[in-house]
Structure 1
């Protein structure tokens, strides 16, 4: 699930300057750049919902995530709440599978977090027993429930991160723990119908393995833009029954898995990356330099000049201190698009030749994968088909 929105409270150059002034406090080192990433080829369409979509609802709505199953095949998700997958041996052979691999129950109970769920991060050691973190949302508009002062359907939306498990190579998933005990990262505060912007754990990057831990970056939305932040989390590879969060000085226990499900603690995570960057979408490790690369939506605004908007990246050697945003691929974002105009979202980085089962590593050649939304007129309104696009990129040690 994605957050296709930008707050007008702090954007562009103002956010960039704030991040620069407090960068050391928030895990941003403007002088650090461990890897340099550039586009090295032309776009290829992996999937077009108007051409090979299973039905009108088959619309990529999250960054691409992939793993290699126990048959050696690439299984790639870029799902909406129906959580369909693409299967093949690489990008050129991926085919859509029309079966829903998981669908939440659609319950009108915000505390359960069982309304709609998007698979967003995969971890597996053998390709058969497959685990996932999912973005679980509750939006009251779907159930005709009240929301004070609602002006858009996402008002009063609340979100948490939940766990799922598959025992058949990712063909079907079930919650790991019964709702609401399926959430190692539940909403930080209870649901209220008089609060339009609820504190939430909204999205999570893909998971990478490094030094005996699984790592990911989660987006912790606050009730204001300035305090919203990207946070580093990890779980032990050999027994991922706990999740820790980085608190700025060390990792702190956030949740443990019990026989009754997840027991989540009240924790606060530290910001990683600069102020003014919205949710980080992709995370990989470049094997040549043993450095990490993130990719995300961003814009730079300079007085008297057009905005520079699109997909940006940062790099790091320790997952905590990150370089300043650098443009990777200029693209129109949703706020740039007038009615009927195309825009792009949900970037990630995948190396189809990665020897890592989670595709969490890249060599010097990989792909930027993203979703393009292509509005088309339909009767007296617009419908919005979507394409899954990949672009070759080159990575070198800086």
Structure 2
């Protein structure tokens, strides 16, 4: 891995202008504490054009190699990884971990597939997939517009060779994990269950956040689901406001009249808004830390960018706090540089799946150099310090 110094971030920098790089917003218990480094430079590191970090990166320690090296997953519809003895010596691996199935029909939940979350248990690596049915590729979508014909679900795949390759243990559509109880509807805009966070174990269950966009109201919120058996995609249950009692519906095969109320309840909507990207247990704060993209209209000025929030139980969250002010795609025009997909990784975590953070960690995120419509995207990291408030 090349470690390229970009800038030294300081709280005294002026307000973010069109050409400015991201700047930290100091305060609270999680603070940027050093310069940014490029981990993956698309211009020189990409194996082909679509080799990009297009979701928050996920890491786990190698259960196959004796040295217990690091795997860093760069999710896209053709997913690859970086590997190395540690995070400072990661190298690009051009072998494909998962290629999208591109199933023609939405009811198979296997169209364009990203590895969004991993959880290693020895040689077995479980994965949650972000599955986009990109209806704009098919004639039923009369507008042929990507954002008008996007239908999303979450599915399951598994690797039995330490993450070198992933497959379906259950043939589609039986690999379905999470959906909303509506079928694909062309030219009705974006809806579905999206982009699971990393998987974190707590109290004998495995948890993951994900984002929901409802149909036809187009409301967005963050949901939480859990399972005790990662190998069973049908075992995940969502938080329904009272407990993990929610059953996900297969909108093509279940009785939707009986399951109409199967959209999950929002988690702490005023506190975390739509944050979902990454969660860890912090050993200094004795709290979970959730990071994601957000803003806070109650603040003047209102910084847009990456935020964090704290919780003791994953359900009740303190009000989110700004961590790094960056230009988000929906606040940009044309080919402005924008930023997405934040997640925290503590290189020294005792967890094989980097589920914990300590007094220091790294904030990993994607820099989209020429706007969200361009493939030139780099993976960047910044050191952060985590401390109890004085």
For Structure 1 versus Structure 2, the TM-score category normalised by the shorter chain is 0.7 to 0.9
Counterparts of 1:177 and 1:237 in 2: how far apart (Å)? 14
* Counterpart residue number, 2:47: 54
* Change in CA separation of 1:185 and 1:171 when aligned onto 2, cut-off 3 Å: same
Q: Which runs of 5+ in 2 are unaligned?
A: 1-27
Once residues 147 and 240 of structure 1 are traced to their aligned partners in structure 2, the CA distance between those partners, rounded to angstroms, is 33
Where structure 1 has 5 or more consecutive residues not aligned to the other structure, the ranges are 1-34, 257-261, 377-381
Distance change in 2, residues 1:368/1:263 (3 Å) = farther
- Give the total of aligned pairs: 349
Match of 1:18 in 2: none
1:89 aligned residue: 85
Question: Which of 274, 277, 287 lines up with 1:281 in the alignment?
Answer: 277
Over 3 Å counting, the alpha-carbon distance change for 1:295 and 1:357 in structure 2 is same
Residue in 2 that maps onto 1:179: 172
Report the CA distance shift for 1:194/1:237 in structure 2 as closer, same or farther (over 3 A): closer
Change (3 A) 1:124 1:240: farther
Say which SS state the counterpart of residue 43 (structure 2) adopts. Answer: helix
Q: Does 1:293 align with 2:285?
A: no
The root-mean-square deviation of aligned C-alpha atoms, in Å, is: 2.6
Matches within 5 A, 1:260-271: 266=259, 267-271=262-266
Query: Which structure ranks higher in relative contact order (CA pairs < 8 Å, sequence separation ≥ 6)?
Result: 1
Of the structure 1 ranges 385-394 and 98-107, higher mean CA displacement relative to structure 2 is found in 98-107
Q: SS state of the match for residue 378, structure 2?
A: strand
Give CA deviations for 1:11-46 in whole Å, capped at 9, x if unaligned. Answer: xxxxxxxxxxxxxxxxxxxxxxxx821111110110
Q: Aligned-pair distance for 1:176?
A: 2.8
The structural deviation recorded for 1:226 is 7.0
1:196 aligns with 2:192: no
Deviation at residue 274 of structure 1 after TM alignment: 2.3
CA 1:306–1:225 in structure 2 vs 1: closer, same or farther (change >3 Å)? farther
Query: Under a length normalisation based on structure 2, what TM-score does the superposition of the two structures give?
Result: 0.83
TM-score normalised per structure 1: 0.81
SS class of match (2:97): coil
Matched residues in 2 for 1:253 and 1:170: separation?
30
Distance 1:53 1:154 in 2: 26
Kindly state the Cα deviation for residue 84 of structure 1 after the two structures are TM-superposed: 0.4
CA-to-aligned-CA distance 1:204-250 (integer Å, 9 cap, x gap): 10001111111111112113677421111111168756112111111
What is the distance in 1 between the residues matched to 2:353 and 2:163?
13
Structure 2 distance, partners of 1:210, 1:176, is 25
Superposition misfits of 4+ residues, deviation over 6 angstroms: 262-265
From 375, 384, 387, give the equivalent of 1:396.
387
Aligned 8 A contact 2:309 2:317 in 1? yes
Partners of 1:174 and 1:317 lie apart in 2 by 35
Change beyond 3 A, Cα 1:238–1:192? closer
For residues 194 and 344 of structure 1, do their structure 2 counterparts lie closer, same or farther at Cα, with a shift above 3 Å needed?
closer
Structure 2 counterpart of 1:132, from 127, 151, 155: 127
Cα distance in 1 for partners of 2:215, 2:185 equals: 12
1:1-398 to structure 2, matched below 5 A, reads 36-70=29-63, 71=65, 72-126=68-122, 128-143=123-138, 145-147=139-141, 150=143, 152-198=145-191, 200-223=192-215, 227-236=219-228, 242-252=235-245, 254=247, 266=259, 267-275=262-270, 277-301=273-297, 307-375=302-370, 383-398=374-389
How far residue 146 of structure 1 moved from its aligned partner, in angstroms, is: 2.6
- Structure 1 326/165 Cα, relative in aligned 2: closer, same or farther at 3 Å? same
Aligned pair in 2 of structure 1 residues 263, 56: CA closer, same or farther (>3 Å)? farther
Taking the aligned partners of 1:238 and 1:386, their CA distance within structure 2 comes to 31
The answer on whether the counterparts of 1:122 and 1:130 sit within 8 Å (CA) in structure 2 is: yes
User: 1:299-320 deviations in whole A, cap 9, x for unaligned?
Assistant: 23479x6541110111100100
Tell me the secondary structure at the aligned position of residue 154 of structure 1: helix
Mapped contact 1:63–1:120 kept (Cα < 8 A): yes
* Closer, same or farther: CA 239–386 of 1 in aligned 2, 3 Å: closer
Cα distance in structure 1, aligned partners of 2:79 and 2:334: 28
**Quick one: distance in 2 between partners of 1:183 and 1:151?**
26
